[in-house]
Amino acid sequence: MTNPLLDFSALPHFDQVRPEHVAPAIDRLLDEARAAMRAAETVAPVDWDHFVTPFDDASERLSRAWNQVAHLNAVVNTPALREAYNAALPKLSQFGAEVSQNLALYRQYKRLAERLAESGDDAGYPPARRKIVENALRDFRLGGAELPEADKARFAAIKEELAQLAARFEQNLLDATDAYAHYVEDEAELAGLPDDVKAQCRAAAEKDGRAGYKLTLHMPVYLPVQNYCDNRALRETLYRAYATRASELGVAEFDNSEAIGRILALRAEMAGLLGFANYAEYSVATKMADTPDEVLGFLRDLARRARIHARQDRDELEAFAARELGLDTLESWDLGYVSEKLKEARYSFSEQEVKQYFTEPRVLAGLFDVIHALYGLRAEPDQAPVWHEDVRFYRLVDGEGRLVGQFYLDLYAREGKRGGAWMDDCRNRRELADGRVQTPITYLTCNFGRGHGGKPATFSHDEVITLFHEMGHGLHQLLTEVGELGVAGINGVEWDAVELPSQFMENFCWEWPRVEAMTAHVDSGEPLPRALFDKMLAAKNYQAGMITVRQLEFGLFDMELHSRFDAGGETVLQLLERIRDEVAVNRPPAWNRFPNAFSHVFAGGYAAGYYSYKWAEVLSADAYAAFEEAPADFAETGARFRREVLAVGGSRPAMDSFKAFRGRAPSIDALLRHSGMAG
């Protein structure tokens, strides 16, 4: 039987991959990668073609196959696939440890570095290759290559266990979310809930063979209930279920509490083995920020500026709730609902009204128009095997019709699909030995609601922003002009700079000509009225203070958790409450178990790095300000952003790329101005 995971001749065969393909494919590719590693340990001469390229070839095949497995596990999760994924995960972790701790490979890279020091750029070692060698030497040190043998074994065991814990954390959260259902038979209990959401809930109940409506914790249902449902008790019911997911207050088998403690202990131990005082120091070693204290200072300085605005937002909300809605207390399950009512009263529009204009076909066309205006590229429908009927595939071509890259688009929420939105790479750009260029391919994944009754899906403006955000990540990967895998696209980019291109794209969701072009009312086909957009613009910074301190709460919690937390002195929840004492204006109930669902930090790549969102927001706001300052030079500025930021990928430090684009170091002024907090 041909194994589709072993065919790298064309696009992935997502329609053919089965759980039983995983083990034989990964085992074979691991064997090939180990053979290439052994050959690299002694190869001479130690140059790019004889040392780096052969090992890259084997490593890339393994990475591409595993990326397919990991992606399918995230978007069409089944018990059999999960079992195959979990069985392979320790093997990948073990191989990663073998590479990162391989002293022979480390010595070979040192020899290569010595050759680079003696040669010039014209000797086959341009800046991209030099950066790869520099990163490799750093990563060997951070991977434990210099540790004593006993410590190496412990370090590898820690890495393997952490990978398994992260997978279990994410799976518990997915299972806890999918397992919950609340059925409502009387439509009157859903007063205020938008008709399209009710239709979705009715269809879900029918699928289960039940009368009435099925409410879940998936975002296309949960958020509308919180924001629009008049039934306070129902809002509380869903909020409680959502806020206690994967905790000791929910289904025992999905409880992440023990995993959190174990993850923190292992991270601290791993950092200690490498000589770091804490995991945060280890984490920032590969980031733009120099120290955890620098990050904490940045977050607290921004909190000082934002908290006065947040307190004002909260006071206004409480006054409105008491005066107009008869709510003497403002509970967590009231915040979204009251905020939406106040926005309607203040700006005379609702998000639900706006949502009717952002129909999926027009939004996608508008997104592709922005890409064309910025970079002269066209997104065109393409054909590829896919993992679900919802998935679409596109090609990105330049003005001469040359292929730049391709991307999958998976927009809708469904059972078995991880929540949230993300971009990941399927295949990276690479200049091959025969002179051909391997073009990049990415996944763009969201969790929006689908259309019903023959009508297209409609997106809230926040969802439109999310789509543009993920496309920004995708463009970072697709528009790279680097030919070496190690620093092509987002590879090698400091983690706290990765969000720059994504947050940069969000700004175009607020430009009137672009918004008008990407709207067509789901019933009438009319574009968004300018008067309604003006109201949206007036409300753009609505509750910006509260939103900012909430993000700062998460960032401070993450950084304190990995730098100063003492499990013997306080609990994780007590630390979170201490951070809230410092910055928060909205206090969740004591039974809220936010850490148990904080997958960015406990199952993603953001441990001691969640601050990156705010750090990069400074960069992105300042980058967009360049377009504001020279509106007549839009295409020229877009070409410069592509050339100096996107095209170079990780081949040079992110700060150098930003300065090359902007002509100076970043300033926080644009972020404060865009957020309405400049004063």
3-state secondary structure of 633: helix
pLDDT tens digit sequence for 26-42: 999 999 999 999 999 99
Q: Give residues with Cβ within 8 angstroms of 319, minimum separation 6.
A: none
CB atoms closer than 10 angstroms to residue 280: 29
- Specify the DSSP class assigned to residue 183: E
E strand residue ranges, 180-339 = 182-184, 213-215
pLDDT tens, 224-261?
A: 999 999 999 999 999 999 999 999 999 999 999 999 99
Q: Report the largest interatomic distance among the alpha carbons of the chain, rounded to a whole angstrom.
A: 79
Which of 2, 43, 36 shows the shortest CA–CA distance to 20? 2
User: Is the previous residue joined to 148 through a cis bond, with omega within 30 degrees of 0?
Assistant: no
Report the C-alpha gap between 407 and 505 in whole angstroms. Answer: 17
- Angle between the N-to-C axes of helices 544-563 and 257-273, in degrees from 0 to 180, rounded to the nearest 10: 60
Lookup: tokens for 444: 């763009």
Residue with tokens 């073998």: 98
CATH 1.10.3720.10 describes domain 254-349+543-610: no
Distance CA 417, CA 630 (A): 42
CA–CA gap between residue 303 and residue 301 (Å, rounded): 5
* Backbone CA torsion sign across 400, 406, 408, 411: negative
- DSSP code, position 642: I
CA torsion sign for 298, 558, 496, 313 is negative
Catalytic residues: 470
| pLDDT for 382 | 98
Spell out the SS3 assignment of 359-428: EHHHHHHHHHHHHHHHHCCEEEECCCCCCCCCCEEEEEECCCCCEEEEEEEEEECCCCCCCCCEEEEEEC
The CB-side HSE value for 360 (13 A sphere, CA atoms) comes to 17
Top CATH class of 360-538 equals mainly alpha
Q: Give the span between the Cα atoms of 494 and 286, in whole angstroms.
A: 6
CB atoms within 10 A of CB 447: 20
Q: Residue 459 carries which side chain, given as an amino acid letter?
A: F
Q: Which of 160, 227, 171, 173 is nearest to 197 (CA)?
A: 227
Locate the domains of the chain by residue range. Answer: 4-100+102-142, 180-244, 254-349+543-610, 360-538
Please return the burial class of 100, using the count of CB atoms within 10 Å of its CB with bins 0-12, 13-18 and 19+: buried
What is the distance between the terminal CA atoms of the chain, rounded to a whole angstrom? Answer: 67
Eight-class DSSP state of 408: E
Q: What's the pLDDT at 1?
A: 55
4-100+102-142: which CATH number, 3.30.1360.20, 3.20.20.70, 1.20.1050.40, 3.40.50.1000?
1.20.1050.40
Q: Which helix (H) or strand (E) holds 150?
A: helix 149-179
* CA distances (Å), origin 525, targets 340, 358, 508: 25, 10, 22
pLDDT at residue 121 in the model: 57
- Fold match between domain 254-349+543-610 and domain 360-538: yes
CB of 455 closer than 8 Å to CB of 211: no
What's the length of the chain?
A: 679
pTM: 0.91
Strand partners, 423: 444
Q: Residue 646's closest CA among 452, 383, 377?
A: 377
Rounded CA separation 264/282 (Å): 13
State how far the Cα of 85 lies from the Cα of 388, in Å rounded to an integer. 19
Secondary structure of residue 9 in the 3-state scheme: coil
Mind spelling out the 3-state secondary structure of 513-540?
HHHHHCCCCCCCCCCCCHHHHHHHHHCC
DSSP 543-606: THHHHHHHHHHHHHHHHHHHHT--TTT--HHHHHHHHHHHH-SS---TT--GGGG-HHHHTSS-
Whether residue 349 contacts residue 487, with contact meaning beta carbons closer than 8 Å, is answered with no
Low-confidence residues in the chain, pLDDT < 50: none
For β-strands 437-438 and 392-397, DSSP reports them as unpaired
Cβ burial, residue 233 (10 Å; 0-12/13-18/19+): exposed
Show the CA angle centred on residue 402, arms to residues 400 and 406, nearest 5°: 135
Mention every residue, 6+ apart, whose C-beta is less than 8 A from residue 570. 578
> What pLDDT, on the 0 to 100 scale, is given for residue 316?
97
DSSP bridge pairs for 381: 394
pLDDT tens, position by position, 257-294: 999 999 999 999 999 999 999 999 999 999 999 999 99
| HSE-CB for 467 with a 13 A CA cutoff | 30
Q: How far apart are CA 633 and CA 631, in angstroms?
A: 5
